[in-house]
Amino acid sequence: MSKYPYQISSFEDYQRQYKKSVENPEEFWAEIATNFQWKQPWNNVLKWDFRSAKTEWFSGAKLNITENCLDRHVLTQPDTPAIIWEPNNPEDHHRVLTYRELHFKVMQFANALKNHGVKKGDRVCIYMGMIPELAIAVLACARIGAIHSVIFGGFSAQSIADRIQDAQASAVITCDGAFRGNKSIPLKEVIDDALMSCPSVKTVIVCTHTRTPVSMIKGRDFWWEDEIKKVETQGNPYCEAESMDAEDELFILYTSGSTGKPKGVVHSTAGYMVWANYTFVNVFQYQPGQVHFCTADIGWITGHSYIIYGPLSAGATSLMFEGIPTYPDAGRFWDIIEKYKLEILYTAPTAIRSLMGFGDEPLKNRDFSNLKVLGTVGEPINEEAWNWYNEKIGHNNCPIVDTWWQTETGGVLISNLAGVTPAKPTFATYPLPGVQPVLVDENGNEILGNGVSGNLCIKFPWPGIIRTTYGDHERCRTTYFSAYDNLYFTGDGCLRDEDGMYRITGRVDDVLNVSGHRIGTAEVENAINMHAGVVESAVVGYPHDIKGQGIYAYVIYTGTHGDVNLTRQDILATVSRVIGPIAKPDKIQFVSGLPKTRSGKIMRRILRKIAEGEIGNLGDTSTLLDPMIVDEIKEGRL
Ligand code: PRX
């Protein structure tokens, strides 16, 4: 008998569970929810109305997610490692935090936050490197009911300021710096720049890591270590877990859309917890004692759900890695797999493609015999990368789960279940119980049958669905629930094959997926246009061997400073400053005009085709204001 009574054990079991989840969703999820720790039971399992973008799961219930992630395991398995931390530099010491130790540290830091007046409902921005204190900070917020908003270390001061202002965060938790390969990122310095325009922030707690010199402003900035000492002298190590309503907000995570500024995706407590846990246990078929290595950064949803909340709520051991796959060399992941005798590796196709490029040498004489499950996430995986992963890492012996999901979905929606349901290269395959995908055409008509393609929507809520976009519910409604009546629209194109298996083909909106990171074209354009000499720009994606998609920018430029290459560098520096290094275009082509319709709309379709190199087949260009511009752009293609 599995430790997890809801762990699906065979394809037939999957089919049974799936059917039940569709026919009787409330009973299905109520049964699963009994496996968690509640302070008070729910009144309703589910209340929903897609037309107003409202969903509530387990409303009326009271709980704290950290009691589910920590306290209950401290009682039954206190000495199980909860987090194993592998540092950036392999020569530095790794750290192991058992459930008992993690619980203790979370309560200590939660008390430190309380000492600074942080309370239930307050927003706390977390901008840290991948060190255990990041997980501790996240859980400490959840402990006292503060809403965390983690920001990835690759975002600039300006991006951080936008997010802090949007959330009106009152506290920031950061580090002096972070290590990434042979670089060190001055996190506190970036925060200092951001805070010049964030009057809502009253407290900054700085954890020492790189021990680079930082400015510490009296009355605002405090060292993490000092705050912990204060808590120690106060004597009481216990911190009561705040009683949260099922629908109380757990966190905000900003993500890019096709228009405007990034939006704060909000997840609430109970539904998210159940979904992160259920999907973790089922997709990876986690067995007690196994070590799970999710290589994502906690600044993205994958890290939230599959480094922290999914594994810890299941009492699993989660490996957290500070560094990058190619430092000090391209064998780093393989070293880690050997060192900790890992059973599960969950990474992105970009990492796989990049490591594939180093050939077989880094793989020689490696012992992968403990590996049981491989996973991918974040972008479509091409067949070549899938085969390499399967043969060279899995030795044809480990199921690969191709997990499709989004920041907004909280956890995996479509994926095979490792070794339990069939896999098919490049296909996410079948929906998890509770997930009802539909394909629709441009007019919103459902496309029935198999062997068809369309836009992917979901017609029924699952527990981890987005609850709102922070401070602007209307934006949530229009973005996800208004494109098609009574459906959640994913923004992805999708194919359903003859066996009813799903294959996600990529975004159908103006969102790019660069190395598994989501970036809006409008956002990049706005950043480029901030550069003094730029008149206008248009950004599209193009196929990139390693990153999946690269960023191609067409720029109308009138400045006269230095040569073209210098100007390109200036524009890249501008984008880095406005958004962050992750949004820097791979190619910048200077043009004298952009192809526009007579009503002034940029014809992105044409620009996309040119960037993709399909210049022979541009379709109808006769409706353009200035068809000649297309020839110029074609000739200047990079
Ligand atoms: O286009 C899909 C792609 O990533 C998008 C979601 O990005 P984000 O919210 O940043 O979350 C990434 C991690 C869950 C989706 O709309 N995507 C994600 N997983 C897959 C994928 N595309 C193809 N196959 C996947 N397995």
In a 3-state reduction of DSSP, which class is residue 572? helix
Spatial contact of 453 and 439, defined as CB atoms under 8 Å apart: yes
Q: CA-CA distance, 371 to 340, in Å (whole number)? A: 11
Pocket residue to mutate for ligand 1, from 458, 518, 521, most atoms within 8 A of Cβ:
518
Q: Is 80 exposed, middle or buried (0-12, 13-18, 19+ CB in 10 A)?
A: middle
Q: CA-CA distance, 317 to 171, in Å (whole number)? A: 30
Q: How far is CA 23 from the centre of its chain?
A: 31
Pocket residue to mutate for ligand 1, from 298, 406, 407, most atoms within 8 A of Cβ:
406
Q: Which of 83, 80, 81, 87 is nearest to 335 (CA)?
A: 87
Spatial contact of 519 and 556, defined as CB atoms under 8 Å apart: no
pLDDT at 623: 81
Question: How much distance in Å is there from the Cα of 469 to the middle of ligand 1?
Answer: 18
pLDDT at 236: 87
Q: What is the dihedral of CA 265, 267, 273, 276, to 10 degrees?
A: -20
In a 3-state reduction of DSSP, which class is residue 10? coil
Longest dimension (CA), the chain: 77
Task: Name the residue at shortest CA distance from atom 5 of ligand 1.
Answer: 406
Report DSSP letters for 307-321, one per residue.
IIIHHHHTT-EEEEE
Question: How much distance in Å is there from the Cα of 534 to the middle of ligand 1?
Answer: 32
pLDDT at 1: 67
Residues with beta carbon inside 6 Å of ligand 1?
255, 301-302, 377-380, 402-407, 428, 490-492, 504, 506-507, 513, 518
Q: Which of 511, 515, 532, 541 is nearest to 523 (CA)?
A: 511
pLDDT averaged per 10 residues in sequence order, the chain, 638 residues:
93 98 98 98 98 98 98 98 98 98 98 98 98 98 98 96 98 98 96 98 98 96 98 94 98 90 96 98 98 98 98 98 97 97 97 96 95 97 97 97 98 98 98 98 95 98 98 97 97 97 94 93 95 94 95 90 87 96 96 92 92 85 85 93
Q: CA-CA distance, 556 to 427, in Å (whole number)? A: 40
Question: How much distance in Å is there from the Cα of 412 to the middle of ligand 1?
Answer: 10
